[in-house]
Structure 1
Amino acid sequence: MDTAPHVAAPPVSDADLDLYRALRLPRAVEDKMLRLIRQNRISKWFSGYGQEAIAVGCAWALDDRDWLLPMHRNLGVWTTRGVPLRPLFCQMMGREGGFTNGRDRTFHFGTREHRIVGMISHLAAMLPVADGLGLAAQLRGEDAVALAFTGEGATREGDFHEALSLAAVWSLPVVFVVENNGYGLSTPTADAVPVEDLADAAAGYGMPGVVVNGNDIEFVIASTKKAVERARAGRGPTLLEMKTFRVRGHEEASGTAYVPDDLIAEWEARDPVAAFRARLVERGVAEATLDAVDREVEAEVEEVAEWALQQPPVEGTPEGEAADLFAPPADRPALPAPPAKGQGGVEEKRFIDALSDGLRNAFDADDATLLMGQDVAGYGGVFKTTAGFLDRYGPERVRNTPIIESGALGCALGLALDGFRPVVEMQYADFVTCGFNQIVNNLATTHYRWGAPVPVTVRLPFGGGIGAGPFHSQSPEAWFCHVPGLKVVVPATPADAKGLIRAAIADPNPVLVFEHKRLYRALRGDVPTGDYATPLGEARLARAGRDLTVVTWGVGVQWALDLAETHEADLEVVDLRTLVPWDRAAVLASVEKTGRLLVLHEATRTGGFGAEVAAEVAEAAFSYLDAPPVRVGAADLPVPFSPQLESDVYSARARLGGAVDRALAF
């Protein structure tokens, strides 16, 4: 481990004064924000007072082409990168003109113009995103680097270890910075971390680990530059542990009563701004010169802060907010539409083969499309959906990952932010729980919060009927339908498997594609030849009828069609295809015609997405109904392993016929 002491710099230069100003600027902001808190003019502030050398030093050591992923105490990243102070203060104060339009606070945003990707509150979550940004540079043959910050407490999080693992395995140009400031909210580091030096963790991932005096800005710069040079040379990641201390509370309302006074006094004596100022004076810089810098910076901050406080609060409209939830279609060539019935060639294919065709069409159409997941390369995925992809597209675009669902999804976000269109395969949909945070709190919110498109497709083999037991048979689509910012797709036919995956990959938003495992090889159907995309959000009339509307998706479509062939009533079957956004107009039109509604899904009945459909119809189309809506879902049980038990007790299919009779008899 490298613990080399600080090496004295050469005589003072203009660059030293520029560096002093860069260090002094976030301190001036800190001073102003703390005064505003005491004056009750702002409500909250997460202080990085005494830690400025880390953020400023790291940003100083990087070039403009490099990415920075700061946390909430890294104000110096933003100021050193030259982010304009006026919108930055509006952002910090929640005023009109900020970067998120009031949708998030402080540094929970990014600016691709300045190559900065801000945090979410879930600690360590941005570290895998840095992997994706580093991979993007690597794939393009660029020598850009991504540097990501986290705190010492977050090194216990899974994302920390998954990010380090992936960066090491792929030799990514990433620098991980652990800002060890002594405390979590109120928990001392020693009570949460059982080692003295967190940099020791690097050895477990085959990368250098360096302990750095985080209050010595020149040491920070020198150590960071060394790690960056290593990354640029293609030698992989580095872990830097910056030792510092949090002399303020977790946030100002928390106070510091839980910190011993002598410990605060000890670290205040090591203040990075005062230490660098003293060093410059020793090198011959006049106190008056530094005082002039102080006055200039303080006046600038005072003027901008008071200006920002006079800006109006953020206002909006429901229509405007809803319009910004999803990224609009990019300025790209239009996707080919599905051919009209009877036009163009068709070929009978299995569901899985049609799905593979759609994936190949997307890969052929855009070199920025790539696939990541467990065993997706040479093995072709556990279901062989991507068999042959490695030979056809090469190891850069078809990539096996370690068993790191969260890490792979976070990496996909980083790739998407830098212009790629990643596809991530969950080996089974059940395993998506290990990446839940990245999907619902990172992928889903990014565009709404700060306007960046997130073209990430997540493929999820799901569903039962194959005797795979409770951990390989779940139907978890409803979990994600509740999360604004995600699109949810469930193809039920081979033709739609091909067309919907093509549309999902082209979409500039995160799309979850649920692929039913039983349908992979059990279902065959006519599939149009050539390239086409099935539009998201449009339902399909799978069967016309007059007596009862059955709304369903996935394997439920086959169940409903099978029943319709033998039932004496004339059933109309509507295949939603897309759950978010779902085609309300098509469902309401069908119910207006039949006067009755049954919603069918394989997932457990309680909390299933069918409840949303039934509730919407009851509210919007009550006058059309001749009977109460009926919902059919699986029993509220884990999926059993025994095929007989699943079929007889658990499955919704066993209850479908009786539910149809009940809906018709009312």
Structure 2
Amino acid sequence: MQFDRSGLSNEQLLAFYKALVYPRLIEEKMLLLLRQGKISKWFSGIGQEAISVGAAMALENDEWILPLHRNLGIFTTRDMPLAKLLKQWQGSSDGYSKARERSFHFGSRDHHICGMISHLGPQLSIADGIALAHQLKKEPKVTLAFTGEGGTSEGEFHEAINLAAVWGLPVIFLIENNGYALSTPTNEQYKCADLVDKAIGYGMEGVRIDGNNLLEVYQTIKTARNYAIQTQKPVLIEALTFRMRGHEEASGVKYVPTALFEEWEKKDPILQYTNFLKSNNLISENEINEIYQQLKQHIENEVAAGLHSAPIAVNSAVELADVYAPSVPAISPSHSSNEKRYIDAIAEGLKQALEQFPQLILMGQDIAEYGGAFKITEGLVTEFGNRVRNTPLCESAVIGAALGLSIGGFKSMVEMQFGDFVTCGFNQIVNNLAKIHYRWGQAADVVIRMPAGAGVGAGPFHSQTNEAWFTHVPGLKVLYPSTPADAKGLLLAAFADPNPIIFFEHKALYRSISGEVPEGYYTVEIGKANLIQPGDDISIITYGSGVHWALQYAAQHQEMSVAILDLRSLQPLDYDAIRNVTAATGKVLVLHEDTLTGGFGAEISAWIGEHCFELLDAPVLRCASLDTPVPFNLELEKNFLAKSRLDEYMQRLFHW
């Protein structure tokens, strides 16, 4: 093993040695504590320390790193106190995640480390967004994201690397190829000769290195950093190494041939680097022993402090409060209004949001010069330049990049060309965006616009309204306006709010509904329903297209006095308004376009039954669409939609 010390002083080489040994000694102590039952789980990086330590040493301390399970060396090299790390690993409230996360699934803004999720691949896209934030601010910074050879099989690997290459982002993607993804060997994971060869297909630079050679890792990443910053292009690095223990301690290593351990034991990064220092008369046995003793004593002191934590004080109010970042108050309209179509109100909202928030970035397929599938963003790129960005066809990577932009201090919007396509980015939404504030206090300042709904003969893949998928996820806010004024006001409120928001826009309303819309900047309060009209006989609780169905039905049936409540916001939900409208009539119909089973109407119905039973004069009924995919034929689609059964349900309630 050849070590290139170019440009490094003797003092630096010795500092590297201490940085390399420190995580190994911590690991040995953690394995002991694991056997003693003082920590519950451990993912060992023994044998792979050179990659983490070399990478962290090569970057500036304010450059973001997105590590994985086996990257203890990142945390130690960034000088995170071992005592607090131990509290984190024990699940103590005074760790880094208030006892809400395990092992290395946490982040720290102070140390510029972004916490991983177990799905591995999705953090690569976050690195794209952080790098884009640096690029937009013209900061000479790079972002480093780790993955394993197993992670390269995930679709997110392709999406993230392709996006970085297309956009020209200063990201280093570092593959730790240790031969096994849990127990699956590389010959069952990929068929290319070397993973670094994938770089060629993305039109980017790639290099393969010995991941056990500390100085080779350091020098390569240092060079890659300079290249990425100077050229504003990404780099792919494949670091060959070996995992000397199981995926995690409980899994064992029976599936690994013994000969491999014998081969890689000779390549141990600490052994090799120690021999290099000794052969160059840079360190003696006495100095080695002294370093080990000092580090071991330090570890014992830190462990002693880390093992003493106060018992968890469980407080449900605190837990619920930390799911969302604090919101901002609504801003009332103070300008005259004009009649606008629903689609024009949204377009005006986007333009005013870009003016109000200079750090706002819009992203989506075909939204720049083309103006989007529905022409809502038409003309914005001319006025706002690269703040309005076309994306490749990669919903998941773009949503991940949106989260990265938030970490980098930006707001972002992602337009789903059709709401149906959000399934391709589902993991990023429900596991990254929704949970990150609760996990380690990082806001996800992201709005996802969802053109949704049927009524236009678009068939099963362009007609769904799938709000119930998201109202179930703590950490998301879900908005569904029915009028032009609410569409603009709620959209502006969504951009002002620092939380991830799923914003539904009904396509059939785009050009069919008009109304008075205030001209200037204003917001509609999130979580506040709107009583469209009072009534005495039946209350219809609805949102989106259902509001217009209800209004039309009430106008055609003057024999009924119908109260109509437009929820507007599904998460958070206005329970006071629901109680009040229930009390007004004693008969409630929940109306929505989504399919019946598991639809959001079930939640409203259940809440009324549990909390307003004494106010009811009849059972709560749900009128929803058929439990089928959305059919293409217009007659079949009419039969599918809840509107076709509205009269039946209203008559049942009226004559109860």
Match of 1:298 in 2: 296
Provide the rounded CA distance (Å) in 1 between the counterparts of 2:72 and 2:275.
23
Task: Using the TM superposition, give the Cα deviation of residue 336 of structure 1 relative to its aligned residue in structure 2, in angstroms.
Answer: 2.5
Provide the rounded CA distance (Å) in 1 between the counterparts of 2:488 and 2:117.
35
Task: Using the TM superposition, give the Cα deviation of residue 529 of structure 1 relative to its aligned residue in structure 2, in angstroms.
Answer: 1.7
Which deviates further from its counterpart, 234-243 or 311-320?
Answer: 311-320
Provide the rounded CA distance (Å) in 1 between the counterparts of 2:284 and 2:344.
75
Deviations 1:556-588 (A, max 9, x none): 000000001011211100000000001010010
1:81 partnered with 2:78:
yes
1:537 partnered with 2:527:
yes
In structure 1, stretches of 5+ residues that fail to align are none
Match of 2:469 in 1: 479
Which deviates further from its counterpart, 239-248 or 7-16?
Answer: 7-16
Match of 1:516 in 2: 506
Which deviates further from its counterpart, 356-365 or 306-315?
Answer: 306-315
3-state SS of 1:522 partner: coil
Task: Using the TM superposition, give the Cα deviation of residue 269 of structure 1 relative to its aligned residue in structure 2, in angstroms.
Answer: 1.5
Q: Does the CA contact (< 8 Å) of 2:39 and 2:89 recur in 1?
A: no
Task: Using the TM superposition, give the Cα deviation of residue 10 of structure 1 relative to its aligned residue in structure 2, in angstroms.
Answer: 7.1
Q: Which amino acid aligns with 2:398?
A: A
1:653 partnered with 2:626:
no
Matching residue within 482, 487, 492 for 1:497: 487
Provide the rounded CA distance (Å) in 2 between the counterparts of 1:10 and 1:359.
51
Q: Which amino acid aligns with 2:609?
A: A
Task: Using the TM superposition, give the Cα deviation of residue 196 of structure 1 relative to its aligned residue in structure 2, in angstroms.
Answer: 2.8
1:119 partnered with 2:109:
no
Task: Using the TM superposition, give the Cα deviation of residue 232 of structure 1 relative to its aligned residue in structure 2, in angstroms.
Answer: 1.1
3-state SS of 2:274 partner: helix
Task: Using the TM superposition, give the Cα deviation of residue 313 of structure 1 relative to its aligned residue in structure 2, in angstroms.
Answer: 4.0
Provide the rounded CA distance (Å) in 1 between the counterparts of 2:163 and 2:238.
19
Provide the rounded CA distance (Å) in 2 between the counterparts of 1:476 and 1:66.
38
1:273 partnered with 2:270:
yes
Q: Does the CA contact (< 8 Å) of 1:94 and 1:314 recur in 2?
A: no
Task: Using the TM superposition, give the Cα deviation of residue 16 of structure 1 relative to its aligned residue in structure 2, in angstroms.
Answer: 1.1
Q: Does the CA contact (< 8 Å) of 2:82 and 2:306 recur in 1?
A: no
Change (3 A) 1:5 1:519: farther
Matching residue within 243, 249, 256 for 1:252: 249
3-state SS of 2:578 partner: helix
Match of 2:337 in 1: 346
Change (3 A) 1:33 1:562: same
Q: Which amino acid aligns with 1:456?
A: V
Match of 2:96 in 1: 99
Provide the rounded CA distance (Å) in 1 between the counterparts of 2:435 and 2:613.
34
Provide the rounded CA distance (Å) in 1 between the counterparts of 2:98 and 2:5.
45
Match of 2:195 in 1: 198
1:634 partnered with 2:633:
no
Match of 1:610 in 2: 601
**TM superposition score normalised by structure 1:** 0.97
Match of 2:579 in 1: 588
What are the residue-to-residue correspondences of 1:146-157 with 2, within 5 Å?
A: 146-157=143-154
Q: Which amino acid aligns with 1:597?
A: V
3-state SS of 1:551 partner: strand
**TM superposition score normalised by structure 2:** 0.98
Q: Does the CA contact (< 8 Å) of 2:38 and 2:90 recur in 1?
A: no
Provide the rounded CA distance (Å) in 2 between the counterparts of 1:11 and 1:290.
20
Match of 1:34 in 2: 31
3-state SS of 1:468 partner: coil
Which deviates further from its counterpart, 355-364 or 81-90?
Answer: 81-90
Q: Does the CA contact (< 8 Å) of 2:589 and 2:621 recur in 1?
A: yes
CA RMSD of aligned residues (A): 1.3
Change (3 A) 1:575 1:165: same
Change (3 A) 1:408 1:77: same
Deviations 1:159-215 (A, max 9, x none): 101111110011101000000011011111111111231000000111111101000
Provide the rounded CA distance (Å) in 2 between the counterparts of 1:53 and 1:614.
57
Match of 1:325 in 2: 323
Deviations 1:8-29 (A, max 9, x none): 5578611111111111111111
Provide the rounded CA distance (Å) in 1 between the counterparts of 2:458 and 2:133.
37
Query: How much identity, in percent, do the aligned residues show?
Result: 50
Match of 2:422 in 1: 432
Match of 1:261 in 2: 258
Provide the rounded CA distance (Å) in 2 between the counterparts of 1:579 and 1:338.
23
Say how many residue pairs are matched.
Answer: 654
Matching residue within 613, 621, 624 for 2:615: 624
In structure 2, stretches of 5+ residues that fail to align are none
Matching residue within 321, 331, 335 for 1:336: 331
1:312 partnered with 2:329:
no
What are the residue-to-residue correspondences of 1:170-181 with 2, within 5 Å?
A: 170-181=167-178
Q: Which amino acid aligns with 2:295?
A: V
Provide the rounded CA distance (Å) in 1 between the counterparts of 2:359 and 2:593.
35
3-state SS of 2:370 partner: coil
Q: Which amino acid aligns with 2:56?
A: A
Q: Which amino acid aligns with 1:185?
A: L
Task: Using the TM superposition, give the Cα deviation of residue 36 of structure 1 relative to its aligned residue in structure 2, in angstroms.
Answer: 1.3
3-state SS of 2:382 partner: helix
What are the residue-to-residue correspondences of 1:436-475 with 2, within 5 Å?
A: 436-475=426-465
3-state SS of 1:574 partner: strand
Task: Using the TM superposition, give the Cα deviation of residue 96 of structure 1 relative to its aligned residue in structure 2, in angstroms.
Answer: 2.9
Q: Which amino acid aligns with 1:583?
A: D
Provide the rounded CA distance (Å) in 2 between the counterparts of 1:131 and 1:269.
37
Q: Does the CA contact (< 8 Å) of 1:11 and 1:283 recur in 2?
A: no
Provide the rounded CA distance (Å) in 2 between the counterparts of 1:39 and 1:275.
31
Task: Using the TM superposition, give the Cα deviation of residue 543 of structure 1 relative to its aligned residue in structure 2, in angstroms.
Answer: 1.3
Match of 1:162 in 2: 159
Deviations 1:419-442 (A, max 9, x none): 100000010000000000000000
Provide the rounded CA distance (Å) in 1 between the counterparts of 2:82 and 2:307.
13
Moved over 6 A (4+): none
Q: Which amino acid aligns with 1:299?
A: Q
Provide the rounded CA distance (Å) in 1 between the counterparts of 2:151 and 2:179.
12
Provide the rounded CA distance (Å) in 1 between the counterparts of 2:108 and 2:39.
24
